[in-house]
Structure 1
Amino acid sequence: MFDAFDPVLLARVQFGFTIAFHIIFPAFTIGLASYLAVLEGLWLATGRDVYMATFRYWVAVFAIVFGMGVVSGVVMSYQFGTNWSVFSDKAGPIVGPLMGYEVLTAFFLEAGFLGVMLFGLGRVGKRLHFFATVMVAIGTLISAFWILSVNSWMQTPAGYAINEAGQFVPADWFAAIFNPSFPYRLVHMVLAAYLTTSFVVGAVGALHLLRDRANPMARLMFSMALWMATIVAPLQLLAGDQHGLNTLEYQPAKVAAIEGHFEDEEPGGGMPLTLFGIPDMEAETTHYAIDVPRLGSLILTHSWDGTIPSLKSFPPEDRPNSLVVFWSFRIMVGLGLLMIAIGLWSLWRRFFGSIYESHWLQRAMLAMGPAGFIAVIAGWITTEVGRQPYTIYGLLRTSDSVSPVAIEAVGTSLTAFIIVYFLLFGAGTFYILRLMNRTPTGLEGPERGKPTRSAGTTPAPSVDDDTVATEH
């Protein structure tokens, strides 16, 4: 049944499929944990029950997303031993400890305080509960730190030596952890997580504003999300620019593939920016290219006359698939530009004091709800496919990393993953959407959202209650 397929390709597809499911959950929990910490901090500082009610609304979503992220991550890690045992053997002395540090620091920190965060409202002091929420948020960021350090080391390996067995062993842990691309990837991913969360929160706020323009919790979600988008989306553009310069220095073939750049430019002529086209790896050209003269040089090298190596500068077997990364990169950037546009639009509406009255802005925010997830997956595809044909860039090829597993075993497990993932995570996603569809409630009276008591004077009920009790 699977004889016509390449076993290396099937193993890559299986890992890509599982990590595409997994990555959306950490991207959401990183941002949502920080959002919850901000909400609870504002509640403590102001005493406004609208902040705690909104916290209660989203903490239930966080619990489900966190659990799905843990499950999908555990399943994914097993593939290092099943499909990629050669890679595990070669890179284990470096990759293994780094992933172990993630468990020892981030996961244990999150697990230790998660129960207090989810079930401690009304059972522990308000400051202790806030401390637990902050620790969970910090734990998600520490997790991102270690996982991105591992991935960045595979992209730009540093601080290693090769022993007699052909294994990569640590020679300088500091250089390995803080490898050349790590700071850029960490900033880029954390900002992407915050943007992802802001557009989900904003979409839920927009949904309920379209139903009830006076709902104070929906107004709070919508406003806070748009402030985040307005601030973070331009920062992400700057971070992406710096990340691109770093990638050009250490992975020029990836940049050439992203740009569909097959031919070297004439000296002094500058490089055009190809907006759209269809890269053809066999014909070594980009068909139907729509170019803007010299703009590619300005963006990629910050010079009108700058050039980058073309794909023809590299042997055919060392070239990433340009068609895939060309379009995945443009999907990511296009969505980022739309996010910036939404932020500017919201500023304009704020200036006229009509942000809650603009149905078109609310509809646009609702439509952009999944945009962060799509951009994260597109960015991941750009990063990982652009690294090919290597698992450890320039040092260990993907074809030399795969386990000697029969193609039938890989194909059968891939089929099982697809069926189980769509059933399990499909059901989980459906439940999350139902939670988001709930009308935000818990505030009553003519002055909903205004201070009604000093924060913490009455113990807040636990997360498993349906509403937030408030005193008036």
Structure 2
Amino acid sequence: MLDTLMLSRMQFAANISFHILFPTITIALGWFLFYFKLRFNLSEDPIWMRAYRFWVKIFALTFALGVVTGITMSFQFGTNWPGFMETVGNIAGPLLGYEVLTAFFLEATFLGIMLFGINRVPPKVHTFATFVVAFGTTVSAFWILSLNSWMQTPAGFEMRDGVAHVTDWFEVIFNPSFPYRFTHMLLASGLTASFLVAGVSAYRIMRGDSKRAPRLTLKSALTVACILAPMQLFVGDMHGLNTLEHQPQKVAAMEGVWHTEKNVPLLLFAIPDEEAKTNHFEIKIPNMASLILTHKMDGEIKGLNEFEGKHPPVVPVFWGFRVMVGMGMLMIFIAWFSRIQLWKNKSLSPWLLKVLFAMSFSGWVATLAGWYVTEIGRQPYLVSGILTVKDAATDIAPANVGLSLSLYLMLYAVLMVAYLHTVFLMARKAVEIEDISYEEMQKSNLQHQNKAEVNHV
């Protein structure tokens, strides 16, 4: 039988895992849309408007699911984790409130203009609305990552009678790990959206779409991926140095290091054994972990034995890190290989189109793996050094949590199938649409608008 604590952890993991998928796309996809709209404004080439019109539908669908799944997150703070708000509510509450006031309201207000005002407001106003929505998604990520980073590396507070009180909001918001986590997440979103755009565009081409739009968006997405990939490697390295400084136990779990030592090898493969406190079947590169993590061949890394009872479960962190890095390296290789072939041949071979289609949601795999490393790597704490997961959990009956968890999982399964089906249904429908001019498209929209107004009268 699973107890309330484990069921609550499973429920929160399910909710955050499903929710994070959609903001990961919309944060960067909003900027793709802004780019498409700017290119249309500057060139007046209708191809950019066709790209915009197709991808704004997917953005709207993804944004809606992100909002709906995000609401359940706030409910759980009260139902499953009352100790969290009781202890650090003075910090978490305002940060979540700032996200709603400065980002969500901003996005919601201008989203309507962005989706329905293209023929009702001046072009500059519509372009501005697209920019505001894209900017709003980034601001939203700013506040959420600020809170999450504070939970990893708390700063700017003091404890009074078991309750955290702010002493410096600047230190709270810009805590030691925030700059690295925020940048890392934005780049991850950029790569996720790039592969989604590239994958769906490849799917349209595979289905026989001979129009310019999917080829243009494919080229744009691969170019963005090639630019962001090296940046992500650099930021990931900086993030690793920061994590080693502030959360050495997490790094030890990521690398499977049990004893404090120098000249630590990089484990390409191993099976960690927490009972025996060792690894089995190791495949390693000598000194490489020390070089990567400390930038010194003989750099010292603290082992898990230094944090007895205060280090995370090793297996999920160890393998989650390798899935994240492995998928990230695969994305980098495919992006550069595809972009070079596109530059040489002006088109991609059928097998490479299939690979890009298969990797449409590869960013989700890397993001989830990285998120699990981040969150599980903080265990046994919910807020590092302040509040343990056990102390924050509810004490309601396990059956209540189990019931809600089951309902969540069934709902999420249905929503995921519906989302994926709708995205590729849109792509198939786009293949069937004739390549009409922008003027004809505007005329058709105006006729539909006038007909709707007459019917309304």
**Counterpart contact for 2:203–2:427, Cα < 8 Å:** no
Asked if residue 148 in structure 1 is aligned to residue 139 in structure 2, the reply is no
Residue number in structure 2 paired with 1:58: 55
Taking the aligned partners of 1:250 and 1:348, their CA distance within structure 2 comes to: 40
The one-letter code of the counterpart of 1:189 is M
User: Residue 209 of structure 1 aligns with which residue?
Assistant: 205
Deviates more, 1:369-378 or 1:342-351: 342-351
Hey, what does 1:242 align to over in structure 2? 238
Counterpart code for 1:418: L
What is residue 294 of structure 1 aligned with on the other side? Answer: 287
CA distance in 2, matches of 1:92, 1:133: 34
List per-residue Cα deviations over 1:88-116 (Å, max 9, x = no partner).
11010000000000000000100110000
Partner of 2:333: 341
Larger mean Cα displacement after TM superposition, 287-296 or 417-426: 417-426
Amino acid of the structure 2 residue aligned with 1:144:
A
Residues 61-80 of structure 1 aligned to structure 2 (within 5 Å): 61-80=58-77
CA distance in 1 between partners of 2:444 and 2:165 (Å)? 51
* Contact 1:390 1:397 (C-alpha < 8 Å) held by counterparts: yes
Counterpart residue number, 1:411: 402
Give the 3-state SS of the residue equivalent to 1:387 in structure 2: coil
Would you say the 8 A contact 2:17–2:368 is kept in 1? yes
1:31 deviation in Å? Answer: 1.2
- Indicate if the aligned counterparts of 2:219 and 2:339 stay in contact, CA closer than 8 A: no
**Among candidates 337, 340, 365, match of residue 374 of structure 1:** 365
Q: Which residue of 1 aligns with 2:322?
A: 330
Output the CA distance in 1 between the equivalents of 2:260 and 2:51.
55
Higher mean Cα deviation, 337-346 or 378-387? 337-346
The one of 303, 319, 336 equivalent to 2:311 is 319
Q: Output the CA distance in 1 between the equivalents of 2:231 and 2:432.
A: 34
Q: Are the equivalent residues in 1 in contact too, given 2:207–2:431 (CA < 8 A)?
A: no
Counterparts of 1:156-305 in structure 2, within 5 Å, are: 156-164=153-161, 166-212=162-208, 214-265=210-261, 270-305=263-298
Alignment check: 8 A CA contact 1:68 1:425 kept: no
Q: CA deviation at 1:307?
A: 1.6
Question: What is the deviation of 1:362?
Answer: 1.5
Separation in 2, partners of 1:327, 1:405:
33
Task: Output one character per residue of 1:52-82: Cα deviation in whole Å (capped at 9) or x when no partner.
Answer: 0010001111111111111100012100000
CA distance in 2, matches of 1:287, 1:457: 63
Secondary structure of the corresponding residue to residue 439 of structure 1: helix
Q: Whole-Å Cα distance in 2 between the matches of residues 227 and 327 of structure 1?
A: 30
Matched AA of 1:335: M
RMSD, aligned α-carbons = 1.9
- The 1-side partners of 2:275 and 2:217 are apart by 49
Which residue number corresponds to residue 88 of structure 2?
91
Q: 1:412 to 1:461 in 2, by over 3 A?
A: same
Structure 2: tracts of 5 or more residues without a match: 450-457
Cα drift, residue 47 of structure 1: 0.4
Q: Which has the higher relative contact order, 1 or 2, with Cα contacts under 8 A spaced 6 or more apart?
A: 1
Matches of 1:425 and 1:75, distance apart in 2: 16
Q: Give 5+ residue unaligned stretches, structure 1.
A: 466-472
Deviation at 1:7, TM superposition (A): 1.9
Q: Structure 1 or 2: larger helix share?
A: 2
- Find the counterpart in structure 2 of residue 131 from structure 1: 128
Query: Pairwise mapping of residues 428-467 of structure 1 onto structure 2 (< 5 A)?
Result: 428-440=419-431, 444=435, 461=445
Shift of 1:279: 0.9
Question: Which one of 21, 27, 41 corresponds to residue 44 of structure 1?
Answer: 41
Distance 1:243 1:437 in 2: 40
For 2:376, the aligned partner's letter is V
Amino acid at match of 2:272: P
Find the aligned partners of 1:218 and 1:387 in 2 and give their Cα distance: 42
Query: Structure 1 residues 460, 271: closer, same or farther in 2, change over 3 A?
Result: farther
Task: Tell me, yes or no, if the aligned pair for 1:297 and 1:305 is still in contact at 8 Å.
Answer: yes
Q: Is the 8 A contact 1:203 1:367 kept in 2?
A: yes
Deviations 1:382-410 (A, max 9, x none): 10000000000112111111122121211
Q: Once the 2 structures are TM-superposed, how far is the Cα of residue 278 of structure 1 from its aligned partner?
A: 1.0
Deviation at 1:427, TM superposition (A): 2.4
CA distance in 2, matches of 1:443, 1:180: 53
Aligned length: 448
Instruction: Give yes or no for contact 2:209–2:431 (8 Å, CA) kept in 1.
Output: no
Residue 440 of structure 1: CA displacement?
A: 4.3
Distance 2:366 2:141 in 1: 17
Taking only the aligned residue pairs, the percentage that are identical comes to: 46
Secondary structure of the structure 2 residue equivalent to 1:275: strand
In 1: Cα distance, 2:57 partner to 2:35 partner: 16
- Secondary structure in 2 aligned to 1:394? coil
* Aligned equivalents of 2:43, 2:244: Cα separation in 1: 48
Q: Tell me the TM-score normalized by structure 2.
A: 0.94
